[in-house]
Amino acid sequence: MTKTLQEIQEFNRRKIICAVNGTEDYEEALKKELIFGCIVIDLKHQFFGVKDPHEMTLVYDTEDGEYYFDHYRGNPFVIYREDEILNKERFQIIGKPLTLDRVLLALKNIKCSWLYFNIKNSNICERDANMYDYDDFIFLANWGLTKPILEKQSEETQRAFYELLGGENE
């Protein structure tokens, strides 16, 4: 059975966040993601008495373990302590956006001879290191530069990264 796009996105997110943070433990990697730009969902935000999940972006953290978020129903900042943010019943840490630089960092250890990003046409290609003809490469994916994060790329591109990161389509 072919993986759904949502399953592929979750696999890609886990693999990339772990690779970028230098750990195989996803929970540990998410804790390391709690820096500027990290996305967190407040699962039990109350607005006019209605519990409604709400996405926030971390804009500032202190050495005291305080985290300042924006984009919270019009409030300029909301402050939470680290122990609150790590409460899985209340918050879901999504991590930083999967931008091209983070995706490429995650790919640096894949079992592939040479991986190229062609800036002219935004193609990501693979070439066998034993081949000496620079025109002899295999197209893997196209990264649309107007869409800065992996989840906004085409399904074909997301599936290509899924396979590069070790995922298998049946």
Tell me the pLDDT tens digit for each residue of 11-66: 999 999 999 999 999 999 999 999 999 999 989 876 666 677 888 899 888 888 89
Q: Are 99 and 149 in contact (CB under 8 A)?
A: yes
Q: Which of 95, 110, 136 is the last residue of a domain?
A: 95
Q: Which of 50, 69, 95 is the last residue of a domain?
A: 95
Predicted pLDDT at 124: 83
39-42 vs 54-61, strand pairing mode: antiparallel
Amino acid at 9: Q
* CA atoms in the 13 A half-sphere facing the CB of 4: 3
CA distance between the termini of the chain: 5
Q: Is the pLDDT of residue 72 over 60?
A: no
pTM of the prediction? 0.85
- For 156, the domain range is 5-27+98-164
Q: Which of 49, 78, 95 is the last residue of a domain?
A: 95
Shared domain check, 134 and 102: yes
**Ramachandran quadrant class, 12 (left: phi over 0; alpha: psi -120 to 50; beta: rest):** alpha
Predicted pLDDT at 88: 94
Here the tokens at position 152 are 């906004």
- Average pLDDT, rounded, for the chain: 86
Looking at the structure of the chain, the number of domains it has is 2
Q: Does a structural domain hold residue 170? A: no
Q: Is the pLDDT of residue 133 over 70?
A: no
